[in-house]
Structure 1
Amino acid sequence: MTRALKPLTTAFAAGLLATGLGLSSASAQDAELQFGTTSPPGNMQSNSAEEFARRVNERIGDYGKVDVYTSSQLGNDKEMLQKLRLGTQDMSQPSTIMSTVVPEFGLFDMPYLVKDRAHMKCIAQEIIWPILAPKLEEKGYKLIGVWENGFRNISNNVRPIDTPSDLEGVKLRTPRGVWRVRMFETYGANPTPMPFSEVFVALQTGVIDGQENPYANIYAGKFHEVQKYLSETRHVYTPSFPTASLSKFNAYPEEVQKAILDTAAEVQDWTYEEAARLDDETKQKLLDAGMEFNEADRDAFVEASKPVYDTFAEEVEGGRELIDKALALADGC
């Protein structure tokens, strides 16, 4: 999406000229920073990408602009991560798939790990930035922020999901993350990893029975048009991880790098406030659309989730320490 450029302040323009990269207004304005997301408009991830672009474009001025491409226009998450690593795309906003790059990101597929958004903010401060972000840089990526996908709930066409046993045999779409798949296998479901862009048709044609996503994603994806049951499980809180190509990021002028990082940090707080609002708003829209709603038995799901924690602790180096550290932050940091 094209966004109007804002003029540089005199001080910032002078800073760009001093770097030797603000050579001329015409050449600088040719810089397009492509930000891709798989999410459709109205989804929390696309909303936060748009808000980021709006704010950062006011800061980078004549250097160029960030353009947001929604709905997998630049590829699915796996394809965009490859482009970032190769330096052919500037930024994307992966979520669950990050565990395929750095296994420790599977922490965020542990069911019922994150208590609330204040807890998530502490986890970002104490775990993501000091421990996980450097591991991403070793792979060629620059983490620029920690935003939100949201608390996930289940929809399907088979039955209401009250306890894990209700998932027995249900063909459920999941993102491409090994731990989400294992979690639903543990519950007895038949998890099917699939790009978000393919989910509506798969639900419509009966290739899959259901899916799990935050309410805003369910509504933005129009899944309510092809799903009967909506079960509030809140089984996983999923952050999103706006990420840049490390090679491209390092080539930006220092002022542009700072503008990107500062703006992404600001958008974190905005994202939490907006996501909380959308939780209530989009849930009501789904109910108004006629979906049959129930609240799942949280205690039953928590009990059934213990083997997932144990396996993560066994298979991921430092996994037990990460889990314990994250849980210890539930009451503040």
Structure 2
Amino acid sequence: MKLKTVLLGAVAACVTPAIASAEMVLRFGHVGAPGSLFEASVNAFAECANGKLGDAAEVQTFGASQLGNDREMLQKLKLGQVHMSLPSSVMSSVAPEFGIFEMPYIIRDREHMKRVQAELGDTFQEAALGQGYRIIGYMENGFRHITNNVRPINTPEDLAGVKLRTPNGEWRVKMFQEYGANPTPMSFSEVFTALQTKVIDGQENPYAQIASAKFQEVQSYLSITGHVYTPAYVLVAENQWQSWPEDVRAALESCGTETQDTVYEIAANLETELLDVIKAAGVEVNEADKAAFVAASTPIYDAFAAQVEGAAEMIETVQSLAEGS
């Protein structure tokens, strides 16, 4: 699947004629820029949902933080101002259980993630419900890599003093502090300008976010670290969810399941195509020493196990499910 095909598909989903007689309009917000994996994912979900919902409801998509950043949309979900969102790393600040996905190198690949989802899905759902949210589908943000304007990053020592933007999640901050960087939590929508004006030196994201946000235009180095795999969650507020008709909920849950494989396929193709886009922009690319990063990550696991109830068992479970990846 070529990048052009992916983007055309995303655009096609955006321009699908509105359902004039829809009884409900459901606003699905996300932070992804045009051409991002988030945009393609949400549009695939909306296309599926609108095909099933008929005139009962219409899912409308709003990308590029039009409805707010991740934290703002989490608040707006409960107020009914946004009906669905696609948070990723920020979920570790919503409930501590989601911090498991902040552990470096704990998820090997997408098949491993599927096994984790099957085994621990109820745990994550209970954690979300405890904070007033419900997960109705899993998508992805992807495997994250580091870009910056200081130097190539081969080992954690190379991060010393680098001002690095991170999402608003405590474990990502702690991880990069442990590696020696100067992590700076910041909303995704603010990152390009902060890089351009040299407020920060770098950031870490999957290729799909890097390329769609055009970070390659303001960054000199890309270091392939793959330090974290971040799922994304199709999220609703439980108080809103319970007020929706049963047929609407059934259609949305069905699409949450059905679109996951599509999203994974798009994501896998983008990993190759978008790395080429980044290289073509003149960014210097290097393969980092992942073994060095893994070795430096032990204190993060120890802290998570000590701080979060049941975390040690979760770590053991997730690692055991990596077999066969």
Which TM class, normalised by the smaller chain length? over 0.9
Give CA deviations for 1:89-132 in whole Å, capped at 9, x if unaligned.
210000011011111101100000001100000111111x2111
Q: In structure 2, give the amino acid aligned to 1:278.
A: L
Q: In structure 2, give the amino acid aligned to 1:72.
A: S
Q: In structure 1, give the amino acid aligned to 2:171.
A: W
Q: In structure 2, give the amino acid aligned to 1:313.
A: A
Separation (CA, whole Å) in 2 of partners of 1:84 and 1:134: 18
Separation (CA, whole Å) in 1 of partners of 2:77 and 2:133: 7
Q: Identical aligned pairs, as a percentage?
A: 51
Superposition RMSD in Å: 1.3
User: Which consecutive unaligned segments of at least 5 residues does structure 2 have?
Assistant: 1-13
User: Which consecutive unaligned segments of at least 5 residues does structure 1 have?
Assistant: 7-24
- Please name the residue that 1:275 is paired with: 267
SS at match of 2:242: helix
Q: In structure 1, give the amino acid aligned to 2:161.
A: G
List structure 1 runs of 4+ shifted beyond 3 angstroms: none
Among 196, 200, 216, the alignment partner of 2:192 is 200
- Please name the residue that 1:310 is paired with: 302
Q: CA deviation at 1:88?
A: 2.7
Among 106, 110, 113, the alignment partner of 2:103 is 110
Q: Does 1:229 align with 2:221?
A: yes
Q: CA deviation at 1:332?
A: 5.3
Q: CA deviation at 1:3?
A: 3.7
Q: Does 1:39 align with 2:32?
A: yes
TM-score, with structure 1 as normaliser: 0.91
Q: 1:317 to 1:166 in 2, by over 3 A?
A: same
- 2:78 and 2:240 in contact (8 A); partners too: no
Separation (CA, whole Å) in 2 of partners of 1:5 and 1:213: 33
Give CA deviations for 1:135-165 in whole Å, capped at 9, x if unaligned.
2112211101111000000000000000000
Q: How does 1:55-74 map to 2 (within 5 A)?
A: 55-74=48-67
Q: 1:183 to 1:219 in 2, by over 3 A?
A: same
Q: In structure 2, give the amino acid aligned to 1:251.
A: S
- 2:27 and 2:61 in contact (8 A); partners too: yes
Separation (CA, whole Å) in 1 of partners of 2:162 and 2:269: 31
- Please name the residue that 1:320 is paired with: 312
- The alignment of Structure 1 onto Structure 2 pairs a total of residues equal to 312
SS at match of 2:33: coil
Q: CA deviation at 1:2?
A: 6.2
Q: Does 1:77 align with 2:70?
A: yes
SS at match of 2:35: coil
TM-score, with structure 2 as normaliser: 0.93
Separation (CA, whole Å) in 1 of partners of 2:134 and 2:122: 13
- 2:144 and 2:226 in contact (8 A); partners too: yes
Give CA deviations for 1:243-283 in whole Å, capped at 9, x if unaligned.
01212221221111111011111111111111000000000
Q: Does 1:183 align with 2:175?
A: yes
- Please name the residue that 2:278 is paired with: 286
Q: In structure 2, give the amino acid aligned to 1:321.
A: E
- Please name the residue that 1:4 is paired with: 17
- 1:187 and 1:304 in contact (8 A); partners too: yes
Give CA deviations for 1:280-319 in whole Å, capped at 9, x if unaligned.
0000111111100100001000000010000000001111
Separation (CA, whole Å) in 1 of partners of 2:34 and 2:273: 16
Give CA deviations for 1:178-233 in whole Å, capped at 9, x if unaligned.
00000000000000000000000000000000000001110001000000001000
SS at match of 2:239: helix
Among 217, 238, 241, the alignment partner of 2:209 is 217
Separation (CA, whole Å) in 2 of partners of 1:84 and 1:137: 13
Q: CA deviation at 1:30?
A: 4.4
Q: In structure 1, give the amino acid aligned to 2:130.
A: E
Rg (Cα) greater in structure: 1
Separation (CA, whole Å) in 1 of partners of 2:141 and 2:208: 9
- Please name the residue that 2:113 is paired with: 120
Separation (CA, whole Å) in 2 of partners of 1:316 and 1:43: 33
Separation (CA, whole Å) in 2 of partners of 1:184 and 1:135: 25
